[in-house]
Chains A and B, each alone.
Chain A
Amino acid sequence: AQKVTQAQTEISVVEKEDVTLDCVYETRDTTYYLFWYKQPPSGELVFLIRRNSFDEQNEISGRYSWNFQKSTSSFNFTITASQVVDSAVYFCALSEEYGGSQGNLIFGKGTKLSVKP
């Protein structure tokens, strides 16, 4: 069965610290997609990244970077030099090409990140 686990429920850091949010997934499909979404206090879900299972290259976008490792079924998200505006709940999600979650997203429980000034 498909599953996404975000073991860190809450993380608190001080501004300018680097922080890594962990995501571990389970799937039987060989073709799948992984996503990260941000939910700021205002409540909307903001798309951050989509990565397919055949692309294990790490990705960097400004202060954000993602590390995808199929060997450990992990898709971790790092924020470098965190800022107060990064405070939000971050969700990792999985979608399978052929499995039960085809056409929709299976979300983890989310990690609440608090960045203190």
Chain B
Amino acid sequence: DSGVTQTPKHLITATGQRVTLRCSPRSGDLSVYWYQQSLDQGLQFLIHYYNGEERAKGNILERFSAQQFPDLHSELNLSSLELGDSALYFCASSVAGAVVNTEAFFGQGTRLTVV
């Protein structure tokens, strides 16, 4: 158990809908990272938050947004969902502001299926 908690584990929704994925980092970790894993794109970095502030953006669509709350949990919001958004979404956390300074631990992922 990595200590990173993601909910829900599975999500099935229809095209055009909006969903929210939740991540609770390991105790003491200030950084939260979101990744998307799909068959064609592999593991892609989406966004990084550190202590409530956005630190870096990767290949995140404009229809997607994220935030990190004062208690350090994070939410990834996906809207106007398309079939191609079906993927496994991972959250990772680390104690430092950059993954170079320490290892990042991943949650079990949320499997999103858009039908």
Please list the residues of chain A having a beta carbon within 8 angstroms of any beta carbon in chain B.
Answer: 31-33, 35, 37, 42-47, 50, 91, 93, 95-97, 101-110
Contact = CB atoms under 8 A, between A and B. Distances in A.
Interface in B1-40: 2, 31, 33, 35
B104 interface: yes
- What DSSP secondary structure best describes chain B's contact surface? strand
A33 B33 CA distance: 17
B111 interface: yes
Contacts of B98: 95, 102-103
Interface residues of B, number: 28
A109 B55 CA distance: 25
B84 interface: no
Nearest to A35: B103
Q: Which 3 A-B pairs have the closest CB atoms?
A: A45-B106, A107-B43, A104-B45
